[in-house]
Chains A and B, each alone.
Chain A
Amino acid sequence: EPEVTQTPSHQVTQMGQEVILRCVPISNHLYFYWYRQILGQKVEFLVSFYNNEISEKSEIFDDQFSVERPDGSNFTLKIRSTKLEDSAMYFCASHKSLGLAEETQYFGPGTRLLVL
């Protein structure tokens, strides 16, 4: 069964460094998302992406964040200058199209980011 994959599974970085989190959505999906979950807290929406542009972004998604779909398969989240509070699990999700069944978002296993 197709699934969303994410790399790396864990990343440790120093404050101020740039990180790129990678995702490969399910191949026939058109809508892509990034969410984050600070340890012990709820899952929060960061950004949605469709047709090579951002559809919606949250207040969390400030100028330090960017997303890109550099080729036909990868979907990346870049954090330019990481802060301690960026430490979280980052989930990528995708869904096929619109309509109930098609809108079910399937999540990747997550990347746990630790900023020191």
Chain B
Amino acid sequence: AQKVTQAQTEISVVEKEDVTLDCVYETRDTTYYLFWYKQPPSGELVFLIRRNSFDEQNEISGRYSWNFQKSTSSFNFTITASQVVDSAVYFCALSEALAAGNKLTFGGGTRVLVKP
């Protein structure tokens, strides 16, 4: 069964600091996808980034970057130079490519509070 763990429940930073969110996953599949979603105070779920299990190349997209390491089953996410608008709950999620329903399994979320 698939499982996603986000050990950090809440992180508080001052604006312009970098924030790194940890995510550890479990899956028996060799082909899977990893995602990060943002849930601002308004409640919607906003897709941020995705990665597949065959591509461990780490990338940067604007102020977002991620570090995918299969060896440790981790998919960490960093916000560089945080802004107040980054305050939200961030969810890491996993889907197994060969599963019948392609469901997303979410971690418990990490609440990020960026103070001015």
**Residue ID in chain A nearest B53 by CB atoms:** A100
Query: Binary interface profile of A, 58-76, with partner B (CB < 8 Å = 1, else 0)?
Result: 1000000000000000000
The answer to whether A100 and B43 touch (CB under 8 A), given A31-B102, A42-B91, A56-B103, is: no
- B64 part of interface (Cβ distance < 8 Å): no
Main secondary structure of the interface of A (DSSP, over half): strand
- Selected from A33, A100, A108, A110, the residue in CB contact (under 8 A) with B103 is A33
**A44 cross-chain contacts in B, Cβ below 8 A:** 106
Query: B101, A48: Cβ atoms under 8 Å?
Result: yes
10 example contacts (A-B, Cβ-Cβ < 8 A) are as follows A42-B109, A43-B91, A43-B106, A48-B103, A100-B50, A103-B33, A104-B35, A107-B46, A109-B43, A110-B44
List the interface of chain B (C-beta within 8 A of A): 33, 35, 37, 43-47, 50, 52, 91, 93, 95, 97, 99-109
